[in-house]
Structure 1
Amino acid sequence: MKNGKEHGFFYWSLSYHKKFVRTVWMIPIALILIIILLNSPGFSLLFKTVAIWVLTATLVLQLVYNYFRWKQEM
């Protein structure tokens, strides 16, 4: 931290608080991707289901992990 502010663009150089905030901002993007995936006729139902579950699970696990690590840093 420099002058009380965090500087960093790359995900791995951020604190857990900033990682958590960035992950929260990814929720609307994930929802848009899910809607696009559901409306695309070129993929099978199995692929759509697996992709949605993987995207959702990754986002939730990342949120939980970064939240608890952020609280431990405090």
Structure 2
Amino acid sequence: MDFADTRQDLVTSAQLSSHEKFLTRMVISAMQVLREIALDCGVHIEDLTVDQIIIWTERDAKTSKPQTM
């Protein structure tokens, strides 16, 4: 089980409102992506620049398969 999965499970059982759970899950998901970007760029998360995040996101969008409906 992935560490992020464990955190998501903790959110489910937490005594939070639905809105608070939504926001918490959103932050966890964002941190997972930022960690991946930082590893790819070879820097700490706190040292990431907006440009690095944009470039990584654009590159990822180009290499991801389009979803078919």
For structure 1, list consecutive stretches of 5 or more residues without a partner in the other structure: 1-26
Could you list the runs of 4 or more consecutive aligned residues of structure 1 that deviate by over 2 angstroms after TM superposition?
none
CA RMSD in angstroms comes to 2.1
**Equivalences for 1:1-74 in 2 at 5 Å?**
28-40=2-14, 42-69=15-42
Matches of 2:33 and 2:21, distance apart in 1: 18
Amino acid of the structure 2 residue aligned with 1:34: Q
Count how many residue pairs are aligned between Structure 1 and Structure 2: 43
Amino acid of the structure 2 residue aligned with 1:60: V
Q: What TM-score results when the alignment is normalised by the length of structure 2?
A: 0.51
- How far did 1:53 drift? 0.5
Matches of 2:35 and 2:7, distance apart in 1: 17
For structure 2, list consecutive stretches of 5 or more residues without a partner in the other structure: 44-69
Matches of 1:33 and 1:55, distance apart in 2: 8
- How far did 1:68 drift? 2.4
Q: Using CA pairs below 8 Å that are at least 6 residues apart, which structure has the higher relative contact order?
A: 1
- How far did 1:69 drift? 2.2
Q: What TM-score results when the alignment is normalised by the length of structure 1?
A: 0.48
Q: Larger radius of gyration, structure 1 or 2?
A: 1
Q: Percent identity?
A: 16
